[in-house]
Structure 1
Amino acid sequence: MTGFSGGVDPTKLDANMRLAAETDTALVWKSPMEEPFRLTGFPWLGTDGVYRRLPVSPSHSLRPAVDTLANCTAGGQIQFRTDSATVVLQAELAGPANMYHMPSTGQCGFDCYIGSFGEQAFVGTTRMKPTETKVEYPLFELKGIPRKMRTVTIHFPLYQGVKRVQIGLDAEAALEAPAPYTDDRRVIFYGTSITQGGCASRPGMAFTNILSRRFHREFINLGFSGNGRGEPELAHLIAQIERPALLALDYAANVSTEQYIATLPEFIRIYRSVHPDTPILVVSKIPYAQEPLNAAMRERRIIGRDFARQLVDTLQADGDRNIAFQNGDELLGEDPEECTVDGSHPNDLGFRRMADGFTPILRKLLCP
């Protein structure tokens, strides 16, 4: 038996955990803002030209926290087709990783899937030191494999801003646009840190990104960590997003029962005034791990859940046939306490179960 005198540095013991991954391939660098790339998840990109989820100069005022969180790139995706044997991502982030309960690969990383819709498979994630803000890393290298055209999907970081992105391809590689969506209308999720993706291990495991691999549409992630409060200003801004296929409202966890009861009907009213027929899905809060020990916490969730269900029932009875309710109790399955990192924010298992829970009702609402 030897004495234990210091910390363990796995990067010195396991080559698979080391950061360095250089390529000797001559690369051509491309901006995903240019054709033939498809860049989604940023509704105001065409007017503002930045990776941001809300407008730079909004028509309605934003609280400072929401304005800051809008710079997080959750839900952003780059898609293209190429026969390049190497795909390298180079990016500059607005800041370093700094969360205690979320891996830097989820907060600040990009991850990559290969395959056409219905066949997408995860292949790689960027690696960088948590203190760094610049990254250049090969998402995949296919040495010795014959060239063929592949569809590539790259997910943006969930909890950090992105200043610049470039995609490096082989100098001889072909580059094409991805297959068009089966429907160009967008699915919009508005909510909390859970909607934003906290605390997925990498971006592709956020439940909205999982759902995007099941429904061939653009998904827009408007989760604002700790700040999904249903204020009317957000309802007005979200109503400006063109071609909506569905709006999901999942913000009960960030407001008190009284605030939820006050804001939800008005949020729906504002959105309905612009989009009278767009499906709306009202989602109640998922259970928290401490509820068996905290009766008041559980009671608040139940009151909010029952109010949301009753509101949807009332609106349906009044003639709105395009509004539905999703019970958050059912999203994490029979053992929800095993589905979180800290008792509230889902881990990858939790996000997979949430996506599974949303899939049937989205199929009903999107494909009637």
Structure 2
Amino acid sequence: MRKLLLALVCAAMTLSVSAQKKKAPKIDFVDATQLTMVGKLCETTNPYHRVEVEKYPDFTKREAQLLKMSSGLAIAFSTNATAIYVKAQYGNVIQWSQYAPLATTCGFNLFIKNDEGEWTWASSKAHKIVPNAKNKERTSKPITMYTGLSRDLKECIIYLPLYSELEGLEIGVNKGATIEAIPVPFRHKIAVFGSSFTHGSCASGAGLTWPAFLSRSTGLHLCSFGMSGNSKLQPMIGEILGETKADAYICDAFSNPSVTQIGARIRPFIEAVRKSNPNAPIIFLNTIYREARNFSARYEKKEQSRIDYVENIMAAVVKEYKGVYFVNVPNQTGTDHITSADGVHPYSYGYHRWAQAIEKPILKILKKHKIK
């Protein structure tokens, strides 16, 4: 018995020493600004902010906070690496909802183009804790996005966190591997403005939002301007969007504002966009069905009255403004009631269905404007 115990102790000590001797991987890091930024609409001092908010003192604190988040941005590159890493410096981080995983709050989502030329999910990773001052040392360590890749040259996209502000970002590869910028892998530049649905609330990965799904399926460069809870047809946002000189605009603009706000702001918003970009098509989407309506007569009445109001006002608006459209697809997330995370927001399966539902009508409109 004593011999057995001695043998077990020796084995444990051997394993401990072996673990201590295990070397950390050798990684070559490159600053992400040296690679290809995808989804960017505005020039900003911090490359991972979506708007230079300091230029607009009329933003509320919440609006400014949201527009500093990296939602919708991604880094594209080619590499022959067998392992890919991410190292980030975080500013403000928000755990938006109990239904929002760390993978979307502060994590990264890697897609790799397969042999058929399709962008394919590879990994979704995040630190196990929310980055903050207390956890700064722990979250400054690299995140291993993937190991065991082939040495073949491959194109990659890493989608950035949806509800975090980044102050710095590096992409790492195993030592000696190549990593280079590539041309933006999508066509045109289409601004997508919207609510938490567009921002990606309750998505299961940073690249699993409806704009990201639609971008990969169509090859169009959709630049997401999601503003959770604050997509309220603000004329100032319309001006900023117009100044981007995007080729087209897709607006999830009726999910947050009240009926009163919609009536008062829809025309000033369109005119604010048109001020700097008079000819680009503006496509408005009706909001989606919220599952919290299923057994609440009060909520059902509230939501249906807003949808009915939007249908009526947009019937008039599209006649008043050339190049303004309303895509009103029913049951965007399905009729089986299985896509909701919290009664309001879908999870990624619902966002995928939404992207599929609106793809054909949007492509038909864009084709009229020679955007293919």
- TM-score, normalisation: structure 1: 0.84
Paired residues of 2:253 and 2:284 also in contact (CA < 8 A):
no
Q: What is residue 28 of structure 1 aligned with on the other side?
A: 28
Q: What is residue 304 of structure 2 aligned with on the other side?
A: 302
Q: What is residue 5 of structure 1 aligned with on the other side?
A: none
- Say if 1:359 and 1:317 are closer, same or farther in 2 by CA, change over 3 A: same
| Identity in percent | 21
Moved segments of 4+, more than 6 Å: none
* Aligned-residue offset at 1:264: 1.2
Q: Which runs of 5+ in 2 are unaligned?
A: 1-21, 133-138
Is the aligned partner of 1:38 residue 2:40? Answer: no
Q: What is residue 68 of structure 2 aligned with on the other side?
A: 71
- Provide the secondary structure at the position in 1 that maps to 2:338: helix
* Aligned-residue offset at 1:182: 5.6
Paired residues of 2:74 and 2:160 also in contact (CA < 8 A):
yes
Q: Which amino acid aligns with 2:71?
A: A
* Aligned-residue offset at 1:173: 1.8
Q: What is residue 19 of structure 1 aligned with on the other side?
A: none
Distance in 2 (CA, whole Å) between partners of 1:304 and 1:97 is 29
Q: What is residue 343 of structure 1 aligned with on the other side?
A: 343
Root-mean-square deviation (CA), in Å? 2.3
- Provide the secondary structure at the position in 2 that maps to 1:154: strand
Q: Per-residue CA shift, 1:63-115, capped at 9, x if unaligned?
A: 22101111111100100111111111111222456331211111111010111
Paired residues of 2:76 and 2:184 also in contact (CA < 8 A):
no
- Say if 1:131 and 1:328 are closer, same or farther in 2 by CA, change over 3 A: same
Q: Which amino acid aligns with 2:334?
A: G
- Say if 1:213 and 1:350 are closer, same or farther in 2 by CA, change over 3 A: same
- Say if 1:90 and 1:270 are closer, same or farther in 2 by CA, change over 3 A: same
Q: Per-residue CA shift, 1:100-148, capped at 9, x if unaligned?
A: 12111111110101116941111112231223352511211126x4x21
Q: What is residue 353 of structure 1 aligned with on the other side?
A: 353
Distance in 2 (CA, whole Å) between partners of 1:189 and 1:227 is 14
- Say if 1:113 and 1:194 are closer, same or farther in 2 by CA, change over 3 A: same
* Aligned-residue offset at 1:200: 0.5
- Say if 1:182 and 1:43 are closer, same or farther in 2 by CA, change over 3 A: closer
Q: What is residue 7 of structure 1 aligned with on the other side?
A: none
Alignment partner for residue 153 of structure 1, among 153, 157, 175? 157
Q: Per-residue CA shift, 1:311-343, capped at 9, x if unaligned?
A: 4443443461x22212264311112x3211110
Q: Which amino acid aligns with 1:236?
A: E
Is the aligned partner of 1:53 residue 2:78? Answer: no
Q: Which amino acid aligns with 1:367?
A: K
Distance in 2 (CA, whole Å) between partners of 1:129 and 1:162 is 17
Q: What is residue 240 of structure 2 aligned with on the other side?
A: 237
Q: Which amino acid aligns with 2:156?
A: V
Q: What is residue 326 of structure 1 aligned with on the other side?
A: 327
Q: How many residues align?
A: 338
Q: What is residue 292 of structure 2 aligned with on the other side?
A: 290
Alignment partner for residue 192 of structure 2, among 189, 192, 198? 189
Distance in 1 (CA, whole Å) between partners of 2:117 and 2:58 is 40
Paired residues of 1:118 and 1:214 also in contact (CA < 8 A):
no
- Say if 1:118 and 1:355 are closer, same or farther in 2 by CA, change over 3 A: farther
| Larger Rg belongs to | 2
- Provide the secondary structure at the position in 2 that maps to 1:367: helix
Alignment partner for residue 62 of structure 1, among 51, 59, 62? 59
